[in-house]
């Protein structure tokens, strides 16, 4: 069931920490006016800083913006500082208060009826025989991303307790408000001082991600001419009808429900308005920046054509970049990905390299100069009461972190990082 004796050894401490962390309500809230957006995140941050100090990371501290930062000093010289990052908040999209985790020992892979909310988990035959953790059914579990937090904590505790093992300086950061896209907002890359970092915020065993969507938001505002419908003849120009026509003209196969793999899309997620003014909100996504641009332009052109045929109406189109595909920032530092591959294989796991049809904190951090691919956590079905986590997979992630520390003390990785230049290819 476990990927290695090391993973099995880490599992009890990891599970204890995970069950403790998920009980703290750290749900973030959109449209924040301060960091973090909710106080519960500070409660968990304080707990983590205390536990890090108890492990022996003397500088562990929670800052005023809700970031926990700590250092585990190196045991070998000339190794670069490497970052380990996870987020403390949980999604605003499912209930997050009062999480009561349930451990299902030796899960049979079938359907589990949870005690509350009529929630059913499974079947998940690939996890048959695993100990798994779920919520009680009326909340999310919060494995996203407390699995990542607990894995980093368990790995760091193990390394701190085994000073004979080779390791570089490890810089730990637990961030707030990832789920509302603000995790990197107040992240001080300079002060963090790492040559590369890893978020533990993925899902299935072996995932190693260095590519995300490029993302933008498009807002189309249509101003019509309102008039009393009783004597609107020849006067009324209905903005809502124009909005409907624009949406109807967009290609039906360029939508999230008709695309997968490396295909991008235009997703109209909100349509609101009146005869006088209507607003279409859409997100555009693609792995290719030129195609992303083309999706946004298609929406703009369609809106302008429809409105041009309706004298008296006006249209304004705004395109707001959201996050960039992280690959073009990470590919300048290929050793950061290579080190993760080597650590996974040392744990007996074949790396699973597939692009993320979404974003991750690492995308913005990589653009800010800290190359940060994403690793799996063993949590699944995020942002829902059906969320669950596999203990053997979580333990595999923690063990991978321990092995990653060793990999970064190997001569070729030390050289690549300290040279602050990419490895020759
Ligand atoms: Zn997450």
Give the model confidence (pLDDT) of 149-162 as tens digits. 999 999 999 999 99
- What's the pLDDT score for residue 270? 93
Q: What is the pTM of this model?
A: 0.88
Domains of the chain listed by start with CATH number: 5-212+325-420 (3.40.630.10), 215-322 (3.30.70.360)
pLDDT attached to residue 418: 66
Kindly state the percentage of the chain with pLDDT values over 90. 89
Q: What is the pLDDT of residue 424?
A: 38
DSSP code of residue 384: S
Q: Rounded to the nearest whole angstrom, what is the distance from the C-alpha of residue 368 to the centroid of ligand 1?
A: 19
Cα–Cα dist 212/98, whole Å:
32
* 185: nearest Cα among 373, 336, 28, 296: 28
Range 138-175 burial, b when 16+ CB lie within 10 A, else e: bbbbbbbbbbbbbbbbbbbbbbbeeeeeebbbbbbbbb
Asked if residue 95 has pLDDT above 60, the reply is yes
Task: Say how many Å lie between the CA of residue 247 and the centre of ligand 1.
Answer: 31
Q: How far is ligand 1, taken at its centre, from the CA of residue 415, in Å?
A: 32
Of 89, 131, 347, 381, which is the active-site residue?
89
What mean pLDDT do residues 196-203 have? 97
* 100 catalytically annotated: no
Which residue, chain included where needed, has tokens 């692009």?
355
Q: Is the pLDDT of residue 166 over 50?
A: yes
Residue 89 bears catalytic tag: yes
Mean pLDDT of 273-295: 96
Per-residue pLDDT tens for 205-247? Answer: 999 999 999 999 999 999 999 999 999 999 999 999 999 999 9
Q: Which of 272, 269, 268 is nearest to 251 (CA)?
A: 268
């Amino acid at each position: 069931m476990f990927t290695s004796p090391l993973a099995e050894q880490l599992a009890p401490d990891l599970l204890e920490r995970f069950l403790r962390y998920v009980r703290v309500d750290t749900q973030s809230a959109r449209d924040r006016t301060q960091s973090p957006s909710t106080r519960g995140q500070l409660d968990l941050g304080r707990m983590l800083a205390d536990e890090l100090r108890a492990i022996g990371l003397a500088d562990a501290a929670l800052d005023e913006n809700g970031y926990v930062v700590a250092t585990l000093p190196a045991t070998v010289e000339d190794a670069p500082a490497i970052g380990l990052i996870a987020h403390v908040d949980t999604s605003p999209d499912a209930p997050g208060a009062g999480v009561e985790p349930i451990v299902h020992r030796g899960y049979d892979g079938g359907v589990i009826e949870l005690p509350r909310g009529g929630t059913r988990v499974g079947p998940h035959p690939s996890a048959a025989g695993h100990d798994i953790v779920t919520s009680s059914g009326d909340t999310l579990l919060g494995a996203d991303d407390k699995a990542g937090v607990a894995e980093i904590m368990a790995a760091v505790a193990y390394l701190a307790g085994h000073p004979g093992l080779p390791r570089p300086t490890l810089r730990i950061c637990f961030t707030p408000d990832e789920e509302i896209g603000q995790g990197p907002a107040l992240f001080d890359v300079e002060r963090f001082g790492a040559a590369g970092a890893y978020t533990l915020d993925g899902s299935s065993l072996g995932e190693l991600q260095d590519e995300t969507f490029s993302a933008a938001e498009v807002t189309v505002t249509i101003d019509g001419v309102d008039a009393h419908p009783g004597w609107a003849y020849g006067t009324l120009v209905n903005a809502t009808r124009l909005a409907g026509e624009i949406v109807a003209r967009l290609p039906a196969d360029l939508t999230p429900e008709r695309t997968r793999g490396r295909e991008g899309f235009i997703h109209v997620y909100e349509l609101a308005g009146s005869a006088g003014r209507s607003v279409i909100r859409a997100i555009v996504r693609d792995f290719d920046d030129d195609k992303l641009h083309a999706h946004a332009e298609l929406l703009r052109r369609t809106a302008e054509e429809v409105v041009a045929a309706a004298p008296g109406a006006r249209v304004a189109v705004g395109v707001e970049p959201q996050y960039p595909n992280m690959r073009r920032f990470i590919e300048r530092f290929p050793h950061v990905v290579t080190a993760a591959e080597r650590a996974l294989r040392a744990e007996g796991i074949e790396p699973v390299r597939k692009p993320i049809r979404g974003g991750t904190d690492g995308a913005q951090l990589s653009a800010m100069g800290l190359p940060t691919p994403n690793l799996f956590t063993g949590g699944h079905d995020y942002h829902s009461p059906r969320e669950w986590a596999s203990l053997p997979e979580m333990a595999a992630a923690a063990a991978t972190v321990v092995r990653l520390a060793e990999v970064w003390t190997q001569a070729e990785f030390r050289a690549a990082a300290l040279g602050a230049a990419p490895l020759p290819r």
